[in-house]
């Protein structure tokens, strides 16, 4: 049996911008993407801690070391600047792979700078 498992998560990311006119996606600082093993155009689930909204979208690479987290397109209605987000990516694994697998968990500060990495 194969299982859908949490691959990586960025916890407490702060929305820095929203753009309803953009055609979709979540803009994410390249450094955060790299550290969390997330890739451009990868599907992510976004959980808005501030208002309880949840949505699924894909990532686009933002400028490195800027702390950018931008919610774009229709999802911009589900977040506002300053909201706190959990950004999660999942992967499919064989059951025996999942026994000892540990996801990459990134905790960021209010400027979206990495404070702690665990995996």
Please give the positions annotated as active site: 25, 58
Structure tokens at 47: 């959980």
What is the C-alpha separation between 62 and 102, in angstroms, rounded? Answer: 26
Mean pLDDT of 89-111: 92
96 or 33, higher pLDDT? 33
pLDDT in tens, 82-98: 999 999 999 999 988 88
The verdict on pTM exceeding 0.75 is: yes
Mean pLDDT of 66-84: 97
In what helix (H) or strand (E) does residue 96 lie, and over which residues does it extend? helix 95-98
In what helix (H) or strand (E) does residue 28 lie, and over which residues does it extend? strand 26-29
CATH 3.40.640.10 fits 2-118, yes or no: no
pLDDT in tens, 42-68: 999 999 999 999 999 999 999 999 999
């Amino acid at each position: 049996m194969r299982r859908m498992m949490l691959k990586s998560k960025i916890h407490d990311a702060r929305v820095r911008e929203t753009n309803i006119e953009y055609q979709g996606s979540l803009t994410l600082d390249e450094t955060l993407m790299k550290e969390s093993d997330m890739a451009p155009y990868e599907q992510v689930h976004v959980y808005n801690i501030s208002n309880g909204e949840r949505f699924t979208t894909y990532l686009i690479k933002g400028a490195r070391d800027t702390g950018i987290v931008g919610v774009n397109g229709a999802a911009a209605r589900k977040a506002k600047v300053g909201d706190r987000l959990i950004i999660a990516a999942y992967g499919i694994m064989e059951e025996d792979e999942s026994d000892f697998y540990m996801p990459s968990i990134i905790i960021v500060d209010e400027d979206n700078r990495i404070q702690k990495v665990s995996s």
